[in-house]
Structure 1
Amino acid sequence: MDKRRIYLLLVLCAIVCGVKAQESVFTGDADASFLNAREIAFAGRRGEARDTLRLILSKYPNYTEVRTLLAKTYSWDAAYDEARIEFNKITSSNKNNKEVWVAAIKNEIYGKNYSTAIGLSNKALLYLREDMDIMVLKEEAIQAIATSREKELSIQESDSILPGIKEFKNSVDVSGSIDVFNKVYDPMYLTSISYTRKTKYGSIIPRINYANRFNTSGVQYEVDAYPQFSKKVYMYTNYGFSDASIFPKHRAGAELYVNLPKAMEVSLGARYLNFVTSDVYIYTASFGVYRGNYFFSLRPYITPSAGNSLSVSGNILVRKYLKDNYNYWGANFSYGYISDLKQFKNGTTLLAETLLYLETQQLNLEYQFTFKNNPNALKTMVGVTRQELSFDPGNFFIAGTVGFIYQIKF
Structure 2
Amino acid sequence: MTKSNSVFAQKINVDSLLTVAVKETNQDRNYESALKKTQLGMKLAPDYLDFYLLTGRIYQLTNVKDSARYYYKYVIGKNPVYEDAFAYLINMDIEDKNYADAMITVDKAIEAHPGKKDFRYKKLAIYELQGEKEKSETYLKEMQAMYPKDSDFKLHYFIADSRLKSDRIGVNYNFTTFDRSGYGPWHFGSLQYIRQRNWGSAIARINYSKRFADGQSVIDGIQYEAEAYLFTGKKSYSYIGGGYSSDPVFPKLRLGYSFFHNFNKGWEADLGVRYIDTDDTNFATAVVGVGKYLGSYWLNLRSYFQFDNSTVYPAFTLTTRYYFNTRFDYLTLIAGYGTSPDERTTIGQIEQRLSLDSFRIGGGYYRLFGDHYVTGLQISVNDQEYTPGSKQIETEIALMFQYQF
Question: Does the pair score TM above 0.5?
Answer: yes
2:173 to 176, 181, 192: 176
Q: Is the Cα–Cα contact under 8 Å of residues 162 and 200 in structure 2 kept in the other structure?
A: no
Distance 1:287 1:159, change over 3 A: farther
Deviation at residue 388 of structure 1 after TM alignment: 0.5
Secondary structure of 1:187's partner? strand
Write out aligned runs for 1:14-53 (5 A): none
Distance 1:321 1:387, change over 3 A: same
- Aligned-residue sequence identity (percent) comes to 26
1:356 to 349, 354, 357: 354
1:265 to 264, 268, 281: 268
1:402 to 360, 383, 397: 397
Secondary structure of 2:247's partner? coil
2:209 to 201, 207, 211: 211
1:235 matched to 2:232:
no
Distance 1:368 1:343, change over 3 A: closer
How many angstroms apart in 1 are the aligned matches of 2:345 and 2:327? Answer: 29
Write out aligned runs for 1:292-371 (5 A): 292-306=295-309, 308-339=310-341, 340-343=343-346, 351-371=349-369
Moved over 2 A (4+): 111-115, 158-161, 338-344
Secondary structure of 1:323's partner? coil
Residue of structure 1 equivalent to 2:54: none
Residue of structure 2 equivalent to 1:151: 156
How many angstroms apart in 1 are the aligned matches of 2:371 and 2:322? Answer: 22
1:380 to 377, 381, 384: 377
Residue of structure 2 equivalent to 1:254: 257
How many angstroms apart in 2 are the aligned matches of 1:314 and 1:150? Answer: 24
1:192 to 190, 193, 203: 190
Amino acid at match of 1:311: Y
Secondary structure of 1:324's partner? coil
Secondary structure of 1:337's partner? coil
Distance 1:238 1:359, change over 3 A: same
Deviations 1:253-308 (A, max 9, x none): 000011111111111001000010111111111111100110000000001232x3
Secondary structure of 1:221's partner? strand
Distance 1:241 1:352, change over 3 A: same
Deviations 1:2-29 (A, max 9, x none): xxxxxxxxxxxxxxxxxxxxxxxxxxxx
Q: Is the Cα–Cα contact under 8 Å of residues 207 and 221 in structure 1 kept in the other structure?
A: yes
How many angstroms apart in 2 are the aligned matches of 1:356 and 1:228? Answer: 32
Q: Is the Cα–Cα contact under 8 Å of residues 230 and 237 in structure 2 kept in the other structure?
A: yes
Deviation at residue 395 of structure 1 after TM alignment: 1.4
Amino acid at match of 2:172: S
Deviations 1:178-230 (A, max 9, x none): 00001042100000011111122221101000010242110000000112111
Deviation at residue 334 of structure 1 after TM alignment: 1.1
Deviations 1:347-399 (A, max 9, x none): xxx8541311110011121101122x443110111111110023xx1111001
Q: Is the Cα–Cα contact under 8 Å of residues 162 and 196 in structure 2 kept in the other structure?
A: no
How many angstroms apart in 2 are the aligned matches of 1:327 and 1:206? Answer: 23
Q: Is the Cα–Cα contact under 8 Å of residues 159 and 326 in structure 1 kept in the other structure?
A: no
How many angstroms apart in 1 are the aligned matches of 2:228 and 2:382? Answer: 30
How many angstroms apart in 2 are the aligned matches of 1:315 and 1:275? Answer: 24
Amino acid at match of 2:203: I
Secondary structure of 2:250's partner? coil
Residue of structure 2 equivalent to 1:26: none
Q: Is the Cα–Cα contact under 8 Å of residues 284 and 308 in structure 2 kept in the other structure?
A: no
Greater Cα shift, 234-243 or 178-187:
178-187
How many angstroms apart in 2 are the aligned matches of 1:326 and 1:382? Answer: 18
Deviation at residue 325 of structure 1 after TM alignment: 2.0
How many angstroms apart in 1 are the aligned matches of 2:371 and 2:161? Answer: 17
How many angstroms apart in 1 are the aligned matches of 2:276 and 2:365? Answer: 30
How many angstroms apart in 1 are the aligned matches of 2:251 and 2:161? Answer: 28
Amino acid at match of 2:201: S
Cα RMSD over matched residues? 2.4
Residue of structure 2 equivalent to 1:63: none
**How many pairs does the alignment contain?**
260
